Amino acid sequence: MKTRTLGQHGPTVSALGLGCMGMSDFYGPADHTESIATLHAALEAGVTLLDTGDFYGMGHNELLIRDALSGIPPSRRDSAIISVKFGALRDPARGWHGYDGRPAAVRNFLAYSLQRLGVDHVDIYRPARLDPSVPIEDTVGAIADLVKAGYVRHIGLSELGSESIRRAAAVHPISDLQIEYSLISRGIEDEILPTCRALGIGVTAYGVLSRGLISGHWQPGTRTNDFRAISPRFQGENAAHNLALVEALRAVADRKGVTVAQLAIAWVASRGNDIVPLVGARKRERLNEALGALDVELDANDIADIEHAVPKGAAAGERYAPALLTELDSEKRNR
Protein backbone atom coordinates (compact mmCIF):
# COMPACT_ATOMS: atom_id res chain seq x y z
CA MET A 1 0.00 0.00 0.00
CA LYS A 2 1.31 3.41 -0.95
CA THR A 3 1.31 5.97 1.84
CA ARG A 4 1.06 9.72 2.22
CA THR A 5 1.64 12.01 5.18
CA LEU A 6 -1.14 14.38 6.18
CA GLY A 7 0.55 17.75 6.04
CA GLN A 8 3.59 18.68 8.09
CA HIS A 9 2.06 17.69 11.41
CA GLY A 10 -0.18 14.70 10.68
CA PRO A 11 0.24 10.93 10.61
CA THR A 12 1.37 8.80 7.69
CA VAL A 13 -1.65 6.99 6.27
CA SER A 14 -2.60 4.86 3.30
CA ALA A 15 -2.82 6.76 0.01
CA LEU A 16 -6.53 5.95 -0.03
CA GLY A 17 -8.84 6.22 2.96
CA LEU A 18 -12.15 4.52 3.65
CA GLY A 19 -15.09 6.78 4.46
CA CYS A 20 -17.44 4.72 6.61
CA MET A 21 -20.48 7.03 6.73
CA GLY A 22 -22.60 5.15 4.19
CA MET A 23 -22.45 1.99 6.28
CA SER A 24 -24.66 3.68 8.88
CA ASP A 25 -26.47 6.68 7.44
CA PHE A 26 -27.57 8.85 4.53
CA TYR A 27 -27.63 6.25 1.73
CA GLY A 28 -30.28 3.84 2.85
CA PRO A 29 -29.89 0.51 4.64
CA ALA A 30 -26.51 -1.19 4.59
CA ASP A 31 -25.82 -4.84 5.22
CA HIS A 32 -24.04 -5.26 8.56
CA THR A 33 -22.16 -8.40 7.56
CA GLU A 34 -20.99 -6.88 4.29
CA SER A 35 -19.97 -3.67 6.06
CA ILE A 36 -17.77 -5.61 8.48
CA ALA A 37 -16.35 -7.65 5.60
CA THR A 38 -15.58 -4.46 3.67
CA LEU A 39 -13.80 -2.94 6.66
CA HIS A 40 -11.77 -6.12 7.09
CA ALA A 41 -10.93 -6.21 3.38
CA ALA A 42 -9.78 -2.60 3.48
CA LEU A 43 -7.50 -3.23 6.44
CA GLU A 44 -6.14 -6.40 4.85
CA ALA A 45 -5.34 -4.43 1.69
CA GLY A 46 -3.33 -1.95 3.73
CA VAL A 47 -5.91 0.83 4.05
CA THR A 48 -5.14 2.43 7.41
CA LEU A 49 -7.26 5.60 7.38
CA LEU A 50 -10.84 5.03 8.56
CA ASP A 51 -13.05 8.12 8.58
CA THR A 52 -16.18 8.33 10.70
CA GLY A 53 -18.37 10.75 12.63
CA ASP A 54 -19.98 10.35 16.03
CA PHE A 55 -23.31 11.38 14.48
CA TYR A 56 -23.27 8.82 11.66
CA GLY A 57 -26.24 6.71 12.67
CA MET A 58 -26.10 8.37 16.12
CA GLY A 59 -23.06 6.38 17.16
CA HIS A 60 -23.79 3.30 15.04
CA ASN A 61 -20.80 3.91 12.78
CA GLU A 62 -18.35 4.04 15.66
CA LEU A 63 -19.79 0.84 17.11
CA LEU A 64 -19.50 -0.78 13.68
CA ILE A 65 -15.82 0.14 13.49
CA ARG A 66 -15.32 -1.21 17.00
CA ASP A 67 -16.89 -4.53 15.97
CA ALA A 68 -14.69 -4.70 12.87
CA LEU A 69 -11.49 -3.93 14.75
CA SER A 70 -12.26 -6.47 17.46
CA GLY A 71 -12.28 -9.26 14.90
CA ILE A 72 -8.77 -8.83 13.46
CA PRO A 73 -5.21 -9.49 14.66
CA PRO A 74 -3.79 -6.86 17.05
CA SER A 75 -1.06 -5.84 14.60
CA ARG A 76 -3.59 -4.90 11.93
CA ARG A 77 -5.92 -3.32 14.48
CA ASP A 78 -3.12 -1.13 15.82
CA SER A 79 -2.30 0.12 12.33
CA ALA A 80 -5.74 1.69 11.92
CA ILE A 81 -5.81 5.50 11.98
CA ILE A 82 -9.28 6.57 13.07
CA SER A 83 -10.50 10.03 12.11
CA VAL A 84 -13.61 11.23 13.95
CA LYS A 85 -15.83 14.23 13.20
CA PHE A 86 -17.99 15.62 15.98
CA GLY A 87 -20.38 18.42 16.76
CA ALA A 88 -23.55 17.68 14.79
CA LEU A 89 -26.73 17.65 16.89
CA ARG A 90 -29.33 15.02 16.01
CA ASP A 91 -32.70 13.87 17.38
CA PRO A 92 -34.41 10.44 17.58
CA ALA A 93 -36.11 11.06 14.24
CA ARG A 94 -32.67 11.60 12.65
CA GLY A 95 -33.27 15.32 12.34
CA TRP A 96 -30.58 17.99 12.47
CA HIS A 97 -30.27 20.83 14.96
CA GLY A 98 -27.03 22.63 14.21
CA TYR A 99 -23.54 22.16 15.61
CA ASP A 100 -21.98 22.53 19.03
CA GLY A 101 -18.34 23.55 19.25
CA ARG A 102 -18.23 24.66 22.88
CA PRO A 103 -15.21 23.34 24.83
CA ALA A 104 -17.45 21.46 27.28
CA ALA A 105 -19.27 19.85 24.37
CA VAL A 106 -15.97 18.87 22.73
CA ARG A 107 -14.92 16.97 25.84
CA ASN A 108 -18.34 15.35 26.12
CA PHE A 109 -18.42 14.22 22.50
CA LEU A 110 -14.95 12.71 22.76
CA ALA A 111 -15.76 10.79 25.94
CA TYR A 112 -18.62 9.03 24.18
CA SER A 113 -16.56 8.34 21.06
CA LEU A 114 -13.78 6.72 23.04
CA GLN A 115 -16.32 4.44 24.70
CA ARG A 116 -18.09 3.47 21.49
CA LEU A 117 -14.85 2.87 19.59
CA GLY A 118 -13.30 0.96 22.46
CA VAL A 119 -10.04 2.91 22.28
CA ASP A 120 -8.06 5.11 24.65
CA HIS A 121 -7.41 7.83 22.08
CA VAL A 122 -8.64 9.14 18.73
CA ASP A 123 -5.98 9.57 16.05
CA ILE A 124 -7.53 12.61 14.34
CA TYR A 125 -10.35 14.61 15.90
CA ARG A 126 -12.16 17.36 14.03
CA PRO A 127 -15.30 19.52 14.26
CA ALA A 128 -17.64 18.50 11.46
CA ARG A 129 -18.69 22.08 10.80
CA LEU A 130 -17.98 25.52 12.20
CA ASP A 131 -20.26 26.43 15.09
CA PRO A 132 -21.08 30.07 14.22
CA SER A 133 -21.66 30.90 17.88
CA VAL A 134 -18.26 29.67 19.07
CA PRO A 135 -14.89 31.06 17.92
CA ILE A 136 -12.92 28.37 16.12
CA GLU A 137 -10.04 29.20 18.46
CA ASP A 138 -12.10 27.99 21.42
CA THR A 139 -13.06 24.71 19.74
CA VAL A 140 -9.52 23.95 18.57
CA GLY A 141 -8.13 25.04 21.93
CA ALA A 142 -10.35 22.49 23.65
CA ILE A 143 -9.07 19.73 21.35
CA ALA A 144 -5.51 20.92 22.00
CA ASP A 145 -6.09 20.33 25.71
CA LEU A 146 -7.22 16.80 24.87
CA VAL A 147 -4.04 16.31 22.84
CA LYS A 148 -2.00 17.30 25.89
CA ALA A 149 -4.00 14.86 28.00
CA GLY A 150 -3.30 12.02 25.54
CA TYR A 151 -6.86 11.47 24.38
CA VAL A 152 -6.27 12.86 20.86
CA ARG A 153 -3.21 12.50 18.65
CA HIS A 154 -3.86 15.05 15.89
CA ILE A 155 -6.30 17.88 15.18
CA GLY A 156 -8.14 18.07 11.88
CA LEU A 157 -10.67 20.45 10.38
CA SER A 158 -13.65 20.01 8.08
CA GLU A 159 -15.27 22.29 5.48
CA LEU A 160 -13.65 25.50 6.72
CA GLY A 161 -12.80 28.55 4.66
CA SER A 162 -9.34 30.09 4.44
CA GLU A 163 -9.80 32.63 7.24
CA SER A 164 -11.05 30.04 9.71
CA ILE A 165 -8.24 27.65 8.73
CA ARG A 166 -5.65 30.31 9.51
CA ARG A 167 -7.25 31.11 12.84
CA ALA A 168 -7.39 27.44 13.81
CA ALA A 169 -3.77 26.83 12.79
CA ALA A 170 -2.65 29.76 14.95
CA VAL A 171 -3.90 27.86 18.01
CA HIS A 172 -2.47 24.39 17.30
CA PRO A 173 -0.83 22.55 14.39
CA ILE A 174 -3.46 21.07 12.07
CA SER A 175 -2.95 17.74 10.34
CA ASP A 176 -5.52 18.00 7.58
CA LEU A 177 -8.64 19.63 6.27
CA GLN A 178 -11.43 17.29 5.24
CA ILE A 179 -13.38 18.80 2.38
CA GLU A 180 -15.21 17.80 -0.79
CA TYR A 181 -12.94 17.66 -3.82
CA SER A 182 -13.60 15.98 -7.14
CA LEU A 183 -13.58 16.63 -10.86
CA ILE A 184 -16.93 18.40 -10.49
CA SER A 185 -16.23 20.06 -7.12
CA ARG A 186 -13.03 22.04 -7.57
CA GLY A 187 -13.81 25.15 -5.56
CA ILE A 188 -11.02 24.51 -3.06
CA GLU A 189 -8.42 25.17 -5.75
CA ASP A 190 -9.04 28.93 -5.68
CA GLU A 191 -8.25 29.82 -2.06
CA ILE A 192 -8.60 26.91 0.35
CA LEU A 193 -6.04 24.53 -1.11
CA PRO A 194 -3.36 27.23 -1.44
CA THR A 195 -4.03 28.24 2.18
CA CYS A 196 -3.61 24.66 3.37
CA ARG A 197 -0.37 24.29 1.46
CA ALA A 198 1.00 27.54 2.79
CA LEU A 199 0.31 26.33 6.34
CA GLY A 200 1.52 22.75 5.81
CA ILE A 201 -1.95 21.25 6.19
CA GLY A 202 -2.93 18.13 4.26
CA VAL A 203 -6.28 17.45 2.62
CA THR A 204 -8.49 14.41 3.00
CA ALA A 205 -10.84 14.65 0.04
CA TYR A 206 -14.35 13.26 0.38
CA GLY A 207 -16.97 13.10 -2.35
CA VAL A 208 -14.33 12.13 -4.92
CA LEU A 209 -17.09 10.37 -6.88
CA SER A 210 -19.67 13.04 -6.01
CA ARG A 211 -21.84 10.59 -4.06
CA GLY A 212 -21.76 8.13 -6.93
CA LEU A 213 -22.75 10.64 -9.61
CA ILE A 214 -19.42 10.34 -11.42
CA SER A 215 -18.76 6.73 -10.46
CA GLY A 216 -19.93 5.46 -13.81
CA HIS A 217 -22.54 3.31 -12.07
CA TRP A 218 -25.39 5.71 -11.24
CA GLN A 219 -28.17 6.24 -13.77
CA PRO A 220 -31.54 8.03 -13.63
CA GLY A 221 -34.06 5.76 -11.99
CA THR A 222 -31.50 4.43 -9.54
CA ARG A 223 -32.98 4.53 -6.03
CA THR A 224 -32.32 7.96 -4.57
CA ASN A 225 -34.59 8.03 -1.52
CA ASP A 226 -31.54 9.08 0.47
CA PHE A 227 -29.21 12.09 0.62
CA ARG A 228 -29.19 12.28 -3.18
CA ALA A 229 -32.93 12.97 -3.20
CA ILE A 230 -32.17 16.54 -2.11
CA SER A 231 -28.87 16.95 -3.94
CA PRO A 232 -29.26 19.50 -6.77
CA ARG A 233 -26.81 17.64 -9.00
CA PHE A 234 -29.05 14.58 -9.13
CA GLN A 235 -32.20 16.45 -10.13
CA GLY A 236 -33.83 16.66 -13.56
CA GLU A 237 -31.86 18.56 -16.18
CA ASN A 238 -28.92 18.88 -13.83
CA ALA A 239 -28.60 15.10 -13.67
CA ALA A 240 -28.80 14.77 -17.45
CA HIS A 241 -26.11 17.42 -17.92
CA ASN A 242 -23.83 15.84 -15.34
CA LEU A 243 -24.24 12.35 -16.74
CA ALA A 244 -23.17 13.68 -20.14
CA LEU A 245 -19.92 14.72 -18.44
CA VAL A 246 -19.59 11.20 -17.07
CA GLU A 247 -19.94 9.73 -20.55
CA ALA A 248 -17.20 12.05 -21.81
CA LEU A 249 -15.05 10.86 -18.92
CA ARG A 250 -15.91 7.25 -19.75
CA ALA A 251 -14.36 7.69 -23.18
CA VAL A 252 -11.08 8.70 -21.54
CA ALA A 253 -11.32 5.83 -19.06
CA ASP A 254 -11.92 3.33 -21.87
CA ARG A 255 -8.79 4.54 -23.67
CA LYS A 256 -6.83 4.03 -20.43
CA GLY A 257 -8.34 0.62 -19.80
CA VAL A 258 -9.75 1.63 -16.41
CA THR A 259 -13.19 2.33 -14.99
CA VAL A 260 -14.72 5.78 -14.69
CA ALA A 261 -14.50 5.59 -10.90
CA GLN A 262 -10.83 4.64 -10.99
CA LEU A 263 -10.05 7.52 -13.31
CA ALA A 264 -11.94 10.02 -11.14
CA ILE A 265 -10.19 8.83 -7.96
CA ALA A 266 -6.79 8.81 -9.67
CA TRP A 267 -7.33 12.39 -10.82
CA VAL A 268 -7.90 13.56 -7.23
CA ALA A 269 -4.85 11.62 -6.05
CA SER A 270 -2.76 13.20 -8.82
CA ARG A 271 -3.45 16.72 -7.56
CA GLY A 272 -0.70 16.44 -4.93
CA ASN A 273 0.97 14.13 -2.46
CA ASP A 274 -0.67 16.16 0.31
CA ILE A 275 -4.12 14.94 -0.76
CA VAL A 276 -5.63 11.61 0.35
CA PRO A 277 -8.89 10.60 -1.37
CA LEU A 278 -11.59 9.06 0.83
CA VAL A 279 -13.85 6.52 -0.84
CA GLY A 280 -17.22 5.64 0.62
CA ALA A 281 -17.30 2.00 -0.44
CA ARG A 282 -19.98 0.00 1.36
CA LYS A 283 -19.24 -3.26 -0.41
CA ARG A 284 -16.08 -5.21 -1.16
CA GLU A 285 -16.74 -5.01 -4.89
CA ARG A 286 -16.67 -1.20 -4.84
CA LEU A 287 -13.69 -1.17 -2.48
CA ASN A 288 -11.69 -3.37 -4.85
CA GLU A 289 -12.54 -1.09 -7.75
CA ALA A 290 -11.41 1.96 -5.77
CA LEU A 291 -8.15 0.28 -4.73
CA GLY A 292 -7.41 -0.23 -8.42
CA ALA A 293 -7.17 3.54 -8.78
CA LEU A 294 -3.87 3.44 -6.90
CA ASP A 295 -2.29 1.70 -9.88
CA VAL A 296 -3.53 4.25 -12.41
CA GLU A 297 -0.72 6.54 -13.54
CA LEU A 298 -1.72 9.78 -15.22
CA ASP A 299 0.63 11.78 -17.43
CA ALA A 300 0.16 15.33 -18.65
CA ASN A 301 -1.79 14.18 -21.70
CA ASP A 302 -4.12 12.11 -19.53
CA ILE A 303 -4.78 15.07 -17.23
CA ALA A 304 -5.50 17.27 -20.24
CA ASP A 305 -7.93 14.71 -21.65
CA ILE A 306 -9.70 14.32 -18.30
CA GLU A 307 -10.08 18.06 -17.78
CA HIS A 308 -11.25 18.52 -21.37
CA ALA A 309 -13.94 15.92 -20.75
CA VAL A 310 -14.94 17.51 -17.44
CA PRO A 311 -13.86 21.16 -17.42
CA LYS A 312 -13.59 23.02 -14.15
CA GLY A 313 -16.97 24.48 -13.21
CA ALA A 314 -18.85 22.34 -15.74
CA ALA A 315 -21.15 20.64 -13.23
CA ALA A 316 -24.81 21.65 -13.10
CA GLY A 317 -26.18 22.32 -9.63
CA GLU A 318 -24.56 23.06 -6.28
CA ARG A 319 -22.87 20.30 -4.30
CA TYR A 320 -25.38 20.66 -1.43
CA ALA A 321 -28.97 21.79 -1.16
CA PRO A 322 -29.31 25.53 -0.36
CA ALA A 323 -30.11 25.04 3.33
CA LEU A 324 -27.06 22.84 3.82
CA LEU A 325 -24.78 25.19 1.90
CA THR A 326 -25.41 27.86 4.51
CA GLU A 327 -23.76 25.60 7.11
CA LEU A 328 -20.49 25.41 5.18
CA ASP A 329 -17.88 27.94 6.22
CA SER A 330 -15.95 26.84 3.13
CA GLU A 331 -18.69 28.26 0.90
CA LYS A 332 -18.88 31.74 2.41
CA ARG A 333 -16.93 33.17 -0.50
CA ASN A 334 -19.85 32.20 -2.74
CA ARG A 335 -22.56 33.89 -0.70
Residues serving a catalytic function are 56
Helix (H), strand (E) at residue 199: helix 192-199
Q: Closest by alpha carbon to 9, among 181, 98, 140?
A: 140
Phi, psi values for residue 179, rounded to 5°? -160, 155
> What is the spatial distance between Cα 10 and Cα 99, in angstroms, rounded to a whole number?
25
List, in sequence order, every residue forming a beta bridge with 14; answer none if it has no partner.
3
Sign of CA dihedral 129, 31, 76, 268: negative
- Contact partners, residue 99, CB within 8 Å, separation at least 6: 87, 88, 89, 127, 128, 129, 130, 131, 327
- Contact partners, residue 25, CB within 8 Å, separation at least 6: 56, 57, 60, 61, 94
CA atoms within 13 A on the CB side of 75: 2
SS3 breakdown of the chain: % helix, strand, coil, rounded to 5?
A: 45, 15, 40
Length in residues, the chain: 335
